[in-house]
């Protein structure tokens, strides 16, 4: 059987196909690199219309990344999908607390989701770069903490997926005057969230 | 802000919404539990038409799982997404070799993808339950090893995603007379692959 076996060739070819099939758009060069990476990750061109990249947000995200930040994410899958080599090169790291015993215990006691308890923990630790691929409740909780002046969020990826609260949670977070990238509607997810973060990192670093 | 904070309530409500919006279908009760879980994970109803569950495959998958098997997956994200509590209860485990140093080295030397080197390793170790969420090349390589009589595949989830080789790789694997579940076309991915495995495990075990 004959098939392409070089990973970077496969990625390059994929991006070409996406570009051809996507047709006309108004995205900037940096924006389109995010949009294409998300479509690459989902094989779903609908993301072209769902991604909301607030003006100025890419610059702010890159500033935070260049400072060597801790990225907080609400799912272990997004954490896994964020490129570790790129993180290391940028002196950044990524954390997710949802599976920790103490978080699970606290969530159970307070009858809240683990995602909420986990984002509270991230806020306590001074995280500035938040990435949500799953939990509307975490996004709601973060908004509350920002309004209360407790969270120092400098950039947010809001990509919870799902049928209960996801779309609404993203609408709510967009009301904040903050740099952010969201996926409107029900779609999104851990792979999409990770793809957005990777696309941002690849704007700064060179890849093999 | 008022929002549902109990995870199992959120999941239950989501499945109800999916059921309502999905409309008519010919899936059996067990099949529909897989379809719904994939839609739950993607917010994409197109999967209703893309999922191919070969007759008899669910029974075979459950047999293998009940024996306490090693699940091999081609991505760390799928590995992360497969429910660890359910695995433990079934005395199963999940492995992915793509990030291992020795695999990376071998792939580089032989100018093949890490995914190919990794699936060869899994075959060597006697894996019977294969789950692909990303790499067409791994699926092609597994097919070759099956034809050569080297791989003892008893069940395959074929859900590579993408624009180069993904759809073709799934067509190829479907030609084998083996129990399998595939996602036709370009779509699929790690979250979809993990959702299929979780849906299968949840047919056997009780969840909290």
Q: Is residue B8 within 8 angstroms of chain A, CB to CB?
A: no
* Residues of chain B neighbouring A164 (CB-CB closer than 8 A): 4, 10, 13-14, 17
What pLDDT, on the 0 to 100 scale, is given for residue A135?
84
In tens, the pLDDT along A39-95 reads 999 999 999 999 999 999 999 999 999 999 999 999 999 999 999 999 999 999 999
Q: How many CB atoms lie within 10 A of CB A71?
A: 27
* Cα(A151)–Cα(A145) distance, integer angstroms: 5
Q: Is the pLDDT of residue A7 over 90?
A: no
To the nearest whole Å, the CA of A139 is away from the closest chain B CA by 11
Nearest in space to A143 (alpha carbons), one of A134, B91, A31, A132: A132
What pLDDT, on the 0 to 100 scale, is given for residue A184?
98
Q: Which of residues 60-79 of B touch A (CB under 8 A)?
A: 76-77, 79
Nearest in space to A122 (alpha carbons), one of A131, A133, A113: A131
Q: Is residue A175 within 8 angstroms of chain B, CB to CB?
A: no
Higher pLDDT, A17 or A111: A17
Q: What is the pLDDT of chain A when averaged over all its residues?
A: 94
Judge whether A136 and A115 are in contact, CB under 8 Å: no
Helix (H, G, I), strand (E, B) or coil at A56: coil
* Cα(A158)–Cα(A74) distance, integer angstroms: 10
Q: Where are the domains of chain A?
A: 50-201
What pLDDT, on the 0 to 100 scale, is given for residue B1?
53
Task: Tell which of A9, A10, A49, A183 to mutate to test the B interface (max B CBs under 10 Å).
Answer: A10
pTM for the full predicted model: 0.94
Nearest in space to B46 (alpha carbons), one of B187, B159, B190, B144: B187
Q: Is the pLDDT of residue A206 over 80?
A: no
What pLDDT, on the 0 to 100 scale, is given for residue A9?
81
Query: What are the distances in angstroms from CA A28 to CA A31, A37, A53, B130?
Result: 5, 14, 10, 41
Copy the structure tokens of residue A163: 């049928």
Judge whether B164 and B135 are in contact, CB under 8 Å: no
Copy the structure tokens of residue A136: 């509307």
Give 10-residue mean pLDDT values along chain B (208 residues): 66 94 94 97 97 98 98 96 96 95 94 93 97 93 97 98 94 97 97 98 86
What pLDDT, on the 0 to 100 scale, is given for residue B10?
82
What pLDDT, on the 0 to 100 scale, is given for residue B8?
73
Whether residues A187 and B44 touch (CB distance < 8 A) is answered with yes
* Cα(B197)–Cα(B24) distance, integer angstroms: 24
Q: Is the pLDDT of residue A113 over 90?
A: no
What is the three-state SS of chain B?
CCCCCCHHHHHHHHHHHHHHHHCCCCCCHHHHHHHHHHHHHHCCCCHHHHEEECCCHHHHHHHHHHCCCEEEECCHHHHHHCCHHHHHHCCCEEECCCCCHHHHHHHHHHCCCHHHHHHHHHHHCCCCEEEECCCHHHHHHHHHHHHCCCCCCCEEEECCCCCCCHHHHHHHHHCCCCCEEEECCCCCCHHHHHHHHHHHHHCCCCCC
* Residues of chain A neighbouring B41 (CB-CB closer than 8 A): 161, 189
Judge whether A43 and B166 are in contact, CB under 8 Å: yes
Selected from 2.60.40.420, 3.40.50.10230, 3.90.550.10, 3.40.50.261, the CATH number assigned to the domain covering A50-201 reads 3.40.50.10230
Q: Is residue A166 within 8 angstroms of chain B, CB to CB?
A: yes
Judge whether A71 and A131 are in contact, CB under 8 Å: yes
Q: Within 13 Å of residue A199, how many CA atoms lie on the same side as its CB?
A: 26
* Cα(A204)–Cα(B90) distance, integer angstroms: 44
Q: Is residue A20 within 8 angstroms of chain B, CB to CB?
A: no
Copy the structure tokens of residue B105: 């080295």
Whether residues A136 and B112 touch (CB distance < 8 A) is answered with no
Q: Which of residues 135-164 of A touch B (CB under 8 A)?
A: 136-137, 140, 143-144, 161-164
Give me the helices (H) in A43-98, please: 47-50, 57-66, 76-81, 84-89
- What is the complex's ipTM, to 2 decimals? 0.92
Place of tokens 């059996």: B28
What pLDDT, on the 0 to 100 scale, is given for residue A6?
65
Nearest to B13 among A42, A137, A164 (CB): A164
Judge whether A129 and A70 are in contact, CB under 8 Å: yes
- Check if B40 is active-site: yes
- Of B15, B22, B40, B172, catalytic: B40
The mean pLDDT value for A85-110 works out to 95
Nearest in space to A37 (alpha carbons), one of A58, A56, A55, A63: A58
Judge whether A151 and A140 are in contact, CB under 8 Å: no
In tens, the pLDDT along A119-152 reads 999 999 999 999 999 989 999 999 999 999 999 9
């Amino acid at each position: 059987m004959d098939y392409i076996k070089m990973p970077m060739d496969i990625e390059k070819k994929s991006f070409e196909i996406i570009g051809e099939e996507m047709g006309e758009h108004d995205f900037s060069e940096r924006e389109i690199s995010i949009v294409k990476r998300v479509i690459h990750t989902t094989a779903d061109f609908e993301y072209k219309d769902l991604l909301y990249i607030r003006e100025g947000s890419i610059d702010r995200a890159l500033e935070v990344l260049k400072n060597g930040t801790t990225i907080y994410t609400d799912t272990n899958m997004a954490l896994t999908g964020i490129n570790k080599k790129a993180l290391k090169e940028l002196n950044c790291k990524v954390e997710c607390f949802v599976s920790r015993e103490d978080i699970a215990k606290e969530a159970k006691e307070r009858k809240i989701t683990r995602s909420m308890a986990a984002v509270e923990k991230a806020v306590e630790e001074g995280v500035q770069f938040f990435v949500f691929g799953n939990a509307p409740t975490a996004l709601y909780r973060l908004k509350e903490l920002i309004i209360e002046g407790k969270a120092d969020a400098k950039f947010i990826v809001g990509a919870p997926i799902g049928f209960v609260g996801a779309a609404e949670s993203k609408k709510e977070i967009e009301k904040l005057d903050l740099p952010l990238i969201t996926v409107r509607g029900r779609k999104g997810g851990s792979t999409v969230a990770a793809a957005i973060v990777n696309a941002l990192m690849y704007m700064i670093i060179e890849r093999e």
